[in-house]
Amino acid sequence: MQALWAPWRMAYILGEDKPDGCIFCLAQDGVGTDDLVLGVGRGSLVMMNKFPYNNAHLLVAPRRHVSRLEALETHELNDLIQLVRQATTALTDLMRPDGFNVGLNLGRAAGAGIEEHLHFHVVPRWNGDTNFMTVLGEVRSVPEHISATKDKLKPYFKDIL
């Protein structure tokens, strides 16, 4: 039997790894994010999800601290969607997924873990990535360390505006 090793999950499970403040606001200054930021543009930012649903799970958020889509100005919304598109393009080029889950959870009732600052989840999916381990054991297998994936993705976001 092979062991699954994901030591970064323990801090999440125990709730010990929560920074003081909003991770997306802190990320703009490189504070409290364990250097998971891939890029910060004029209106949006993209970063690795520290507790990923799947390998290369990205978070795309507006720079401005808002919780509702209607609070965004049109240019902020456009910038946000452009960065989501850039994220799917980068992941397609690098990781060759078979599909994506792209979405946002607005409000605690909808599953938002950070409800005060809206953000998109961009999750690459591969045929067969949901199997008995996920369904029965509530375990996910992430095949590459998050820092290795980040290093591969960072060049795709060096020129965001």
Domain range summary for the chain, segments of one domain joined by +? 18-157
Q: Which of 86, 56, 34 is nearest to 150 (CA)?
A: 56
- CATH architecture label of 18-157: 2-Layer Sandwich (3.30)
pTM of the shown model: 0.81
Given the residues 57, 117, 119, 121, select the one marked as catalytic.
119
> Whole-angstrom Cα distance, residue 65 to residue 72?
10
| Residues in contact with 116: Cβ distance below 8 Å, sequence separation at least 6, in sequence order | 22, 65, 67
Q: What tens-digit pLDDT sequence spans the chain (161 residues)?
A: 455 555 655 665 565 566 678 889 998 877 666 688 999 999 999 999 988 888 899 999 999 999 999 999 999 999 999 999 999 999 999 999 999 999 999 988 888 888 899 999 999 999 977 654 444 445 555 567 888 899 999 999 988 76
> Whole-angstrom Cα distance, residue 52 to residue 133?
16
DSSP 3-state percent helix, strand, coil across the chain (nearest 5): 35, 15, 50
**Residue 119: active-site member:** yes
Cβ pair 59, 47 in contact under 8 A: yes
Cβ pair 53, 70 in contact under 8 A: no
Cβ pair 86, 157 in contact under 8 A: yes
Cβ pair 49, 41 in contact under 8 A: no
Strand partners, 59: 47, 121
